């Protein structure tokens, strides 16, 4: 395989891009709602799911928003996935009529755990990688498995050297 250019090693998502992609997901989810009353609640997977969940909650006028916290990565290294905080099960039940939102699915390990807790929920992510794609009911953009997605909360604007003159 030919070596990739520096800007091809990751998929860098700006706030603007994330806003547009989360809105596109909301538009899709609106047409996938179970009935005319729409989705009854959102469960955001913290922390990455909170930003898209807020945008989707706004677009679809959903006021009941809870969270589930699953930790599976230490920086870019995957470890055993564990639930640190569960949603209010009196509110969410088996997940019927509920949207579960995350920023992305990679291996699908996080969603495997989450789906077990709320088997009837509709799972949506903004981005998806091939290994985990089967775990989501709706997503917007697929990237290759070897692409690391950098989200705007992990980035900063900074100067870069022009290509000409670099090693």
Do residues 106 and 146 lie in contact, with contact meaning Cβ atoms separated by under 8 Å? no
Catalytic residue, candidates 74, 96, 103, 137: 103
Laid out side by side, the sheet with 122-128 consists of 77-85, 65-74, 41-46, 98-105, 122-128, 138-142
Residue 35 appears among annotated catalytic residues:
no
Q: Which two tokens stand for residue 119?
A: 């088997």
Q: What is the rounded CA–CA span in Å between residue 53 and residue 102?
A: 7
Q: Which residues pair with 127 in a beta bridge?
A: 104, 141
CA distance 95 to 82: 19
* Among ligand HPA, Mg ion, ligand PRP, none, residue 148 binds (CB under 5-8 Å by kind): ligand HPA
Decide if 99 contacts 41 (C-beta within 8 A): yes
Residues annotated within the binding site for xanthine are 106, 149
Mask: binding to ligand PRP, 16-55, rule CB under 6 A, as x and -? -----------------------------xxxx-------
Binding region for ligand PRP (CB under 6 A) out of 5-13, 104-112, 140-148, 158-166: 104-112
Annotated catalytic residue: which of 36, 66, 74, 102? 102
Verify whether residue 94 is a known catalytic residue.
Answer: no
Active site residue 66: no
Query: 5 is written with which tokens?
Result: 């250019």
Closer by beta carbon to ligand HPA, 33 or else 73: 73
Among 106, 122, 128, 140, binds ligand HPA (CB under 6 A): 106
Residue 148 makes contact with ligand HPA by CB under 6 A: yes
As measured in angstroms, the least distance from the Cβ of 26 to ligand PRP is: 18
- For the record, the structure tokens of 80 come out as 């055993």
Positions in the binding site for ligand HPA (CB under 6 A): 73, 104, 106, 148-149
């Amino acid at each position: 395989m030919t070596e990739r250019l520096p800007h091809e090693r990751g998929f860098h998502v700006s706030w603007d891009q994330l806003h547009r992609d989360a809105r596109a997901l909301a538009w899709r989810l609106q047409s996938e709602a179970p009935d005319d009353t729409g989705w009854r609640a959102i469960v955001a997977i913290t922390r990455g799911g909170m930003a898209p969940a807020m945008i989707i909650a706004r677009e679809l006028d959903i006021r009941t928003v809870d969270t589930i916290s699953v930790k599976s990565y230490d920086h870019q290294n995957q470890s055993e996935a564990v639930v640190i905080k569960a949603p209010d099960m009196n509110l969410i039940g088996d997940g019927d009529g509920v949207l579960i939102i995350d920023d992305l699915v990679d291996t699908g390990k996080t969603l495997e755990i989450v789906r077990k807790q709320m088997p009837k929920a509709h799972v949506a992510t903004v981005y998806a990688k091939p290994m985990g794609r089967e775990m989501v009911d709706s997503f917007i953009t697929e990237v290759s498995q070897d692409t690391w997605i950098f989200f705007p909360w992990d980035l900063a604007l900074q100067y870069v050297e022009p290509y000409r003159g670099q090693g």
